[in-house]
Amino acid sequence: MTEQSPALDNLLTESRSFPPGAEFAGAANVGPDVYGAAEEDREEFWAEQARRLSWDTGWSRVLDWSGAPFAKWFAGGRLNVAYNCVDRHVEAGFGDQVAIHWVGEPGDTRDITYAQLKDDVSRAANALVSVGVVAGDVVAIQLQMVPEAIVAMLACARIGALHSVVFGGFSPTALRARVDDAAAKVVITSDGQYRRGKAAPMKANVDEALAGAESVEKVIVVRRTGDALEGATPWVAGRDVWWHDLVDAQPAEHRPEAFDSEHPLFILYTSGTTGRPKGILHTSGGYLTQAAYTHHVVFDHKPGVDVYWCTADIGWITGHSYIVYGPLANRVTQVVYEGTPNTPHEGRHWEIIQKYKVSIYYTAPTLIRTFMKWGADIPAKYDLSSLRVLGSVGEPINPEAWIWYRDTIGASKTPIVDTWWQTETGAIMISPLPGVTATKPGSAQRALPGISAKVVDDTGTEVPPGGGGYLVLDKPWPSMLRGVWGDDERFRDTYWSRFAEQGFYFAGDGAKYDTDGDIWLLGRVDDVMNVSGHRISTTEVESALVSHPAVAEAAVVGASDPTTGQGIVAFVILRAAHTTDSGGEDAVQELRNHVAKEIGPIAKPRQILIVPELPKTRSGKIMRRLLRDIAENRTIGDVTTLADSSVMDLISAGLNTGK
Ligand code: WT7
């Protein structure tokens, strides 16, 4: 028996199913009839969903697919995204409703109402205009989870500028690549951030990133750590300005202008199969429609009643769609937490849920598995009875973690929604509906109403129930990506060339149908790894490794990991000159740090193995499958296509003797 990834354990034998409770189903936002209605007339269905929003000008066409794969949704319509997320709730009389219960890592808190949010966003919009930002400009944001991050995103949306949020854990090199790729005019960051109880610098890293960056005219700095951080915040006179100096002085009135439904809203970089991250482009009307609709039905969200908490970071798409745009468009009251889940103690999340009576909680399998490791006695100390819907996102959830989540956190009754989607899809695509679906541990189950997904074989033919293959999306959807920033060819190539004949979107995930026709996601089929729900490409890590002078060659694989889903394992050949003096542990440590410096700490290999050779085919392609066998302690598979079949013996022998 080979060891399987946590995502796949029990998967073939799993047969439990949990129908929704009658009470939940009776009060749910949608019933089982919603699938049929959507099927009958997809465009009318999506038009109906778009009417959740306030439009300045109605659309003339729901979908214009004539320029496929570049879609136009709600063509001719005009709206302001920030107005939809903020102002209209104030105008409807909900100005006093709390939009954000913000919890800082050190324990400071802020409650922000919709009326306050409107003032804050308006001031920030005026501030951006005052430094010369106009519609179509790009603003890069590298901020931890502080309210200003959300305000900054909405301020961009309000004036038609695109934001490009860069996760706080990315290195200066990674930030710079993103700033340059989109020629960002302004960068918004903070002096420092609290992480695991300590203040760490942020602005210093941004300065390092921006040295000589020609496009950047202004850097706006939120004061967060202040005196907690040693030394003065590094400052570039003329370029840098404090957020509080610039924004607080602005008037709280700003008239939102309506933009075309297809006006770009944001760029978000994600890893692909090459070393260069791609800027995924999302636009306004269709994106907001699907973000709001899915948040409404998948989480059964009731405005003014529920307290919602999505634990993602705004550096990822989950933060964009399910902290900022979908929830706020739906007049959510939500928790936003700045810090790590074990600061100052491992019950921090449960303490927050108890305090704010959180009713909808959305997190990632890797965190659920971490909670399991910490022990069920920790959540048991808190009152979690307010919870009524639990969500999962980012990677396949193994049945064991799913059951633990339901039993230990959800009192053995809370529906779990396992939501499959991607940066590229913009919003949830495959998920149970909590009041409708009999849920199955480990399965995302079925495309949402209005969405169409299939599992197909190599030729693009749908596989029968019980069969496995590739996941494709066979019909356009409102929040689909509108391209890769500055690279139409890469857009076509990556997503639309694999099943060009059929016109399917290729998601890059393996999947299977069970005998009921429900979908089970099986992980990536390309060279993309999923580490703690973060997407990292093997090539990206390999490029980082070979950029170190001691490295001659490197091959990286994702090996199954009981907590993080996958862990990064690198096989490295050192240059002859380095093998003797910096070999062994020192070299490994140095290389791990080098990767952290090049990409960010999230890309640090779990393990680096120094090897004399790499297994290659006769055409020179590295056979990662064999390296994965080693990384996962399996018997090594078929080596007959190797150019030199003794290579694997050489590698194994070296590893066994620890050399
Ligand atoms: C990849 C997309 C979706 C927001 C966070 C990640 C994997 C995501 C699931 C799920 C199985 C999942 C896929 C996908 N993935 N959700 N519920 N079950 N796999 O966004 O960084 O763009 O990554 O995450 O492999 O392709 P992302």
pLDDT of residue 461: 98
Instruction: Evaluate whether 378 touches 410 at the Cβ level (below 8 Å).
Output: no
Residues 630/631/633/635 CA torsion (nearest 10 deg): -30
* CATH of the structural domain 38-509, one choice from 1.10.3720.10, 3.40.50.12780, 3.40.50.1860, 1.10.357.10: 3.40.50.12780
The distance in angstroms from the start CA to the end CA of the chain is 28
Interatomic CA distance for residues 66 and 432, integer angstroms: 32
Nearest CA among 410, 409, 455, 405 for reference residue 430: 455
Rounded to the nearest angstrom, the distance between the alpha carbon of 650 and the centre of ligand 1 is 36
User: pLDDT, tens digit, for every residue of 50-99?
Assistant: 999 999 999 999 999 999 999 999 999 999 999 999 999 999 999 999 99
Q: What is the mean pLDDT of residues 528-535?
A: 91
pLDDT of residue 11: 56
Asked whether 418 lines ligand 1 (CB < 6 A), one says: yes
User: pLDDT, tens digit, for every residue of 395-407?
Assistant: 999 999 999 999 9
CATH number of the structural domain 532-657: 3.30.300.30
Report which protein residue has its CA nearest ligand 1's atom 5: 394
Band of residue 10 on the pLDDT scale cut at 50, 70, 90 = very low
User: pLDDT, tens digit, for every residue of 286-299?
Assistant: 999 999 999 999 99
Residue-averaged pLDDT of the chain? 94
Rounded to the nearest angstrom, the distance between the alpha carbon of 318 and the centre of ligand 1 is 10
Rounded to the nearest angstrom, the distance between the alpha carbon of 171 and the centre of ligand 1 is 23
Report which protein residue has its CA nearest ligand 1's atom 6: 394
Q: Please indicate whether the domains covering 38-509 and 532-657 agree at the CATH topology level.
A: no
Asked whether 207 lines ligand 1 (CB < 6 A), one says: no
Q: Is the pLDDT of residue 9 over 70?
A: no
Q: Is the pLDDT of residue 306 over 70?
A: yes
User: Can you give the residue ranges of every domain in the chain?
Assistant: 38-509, 532-657
Among 412-416, 476-480, 533-537, which stretch is predicted with the lowest mean pLDDT?
533-537
Higher-scoring residue by pLDDT: 316, 527: 316
Asked whether 395 lines ligand 1 (CB < 6 A), one says: yes
pLDDT of residue 656: 60
* Paired tokens of 279: 């800027």
Nearest CA among 474, 492, 473, 472 for reference residue 483: 492
Q: Which secondary-structure segment (H or E) carries 196?
A: none
Best of 282, 314, 392, 395 for a ligand 1 pocket test (most atoms within 8 Å of beta carbon): 395
Band of residue 635 on the pLDDT scale cut at 50, 70, 90 = confident
User: pLDDT, tens digit, for every residue of 338-388?
Assistant: 999 999 999 999 999 999 999 999 999 999 999 999 999 999 999 999 999
Q: Which secondary-structure segment (H or E) carries 186?
A: strand 186-190
What is the per-residue DSSP string for 575-625? PHHHHHHS-HHHHHHHHHHHHHHHT-GGG--SEEEE-S---BBTT--B-HH
ipTM higher than 0.95? yes
Report which protein residue has its CA nearest ligand 1's atom 13: 395
Q: What is the mean pLDDT of residues 255-272?
A: 96
pLDDT of residue 320: 98
pLDDT of residue 583: 57
Helix, strand, or coil (residue 289): helix
pLDDT of residue 657: 54
Best of 530, 534, 560, 564 for a ligand 1 pocket test (most atoms within 8 Å of beta carbon): 530
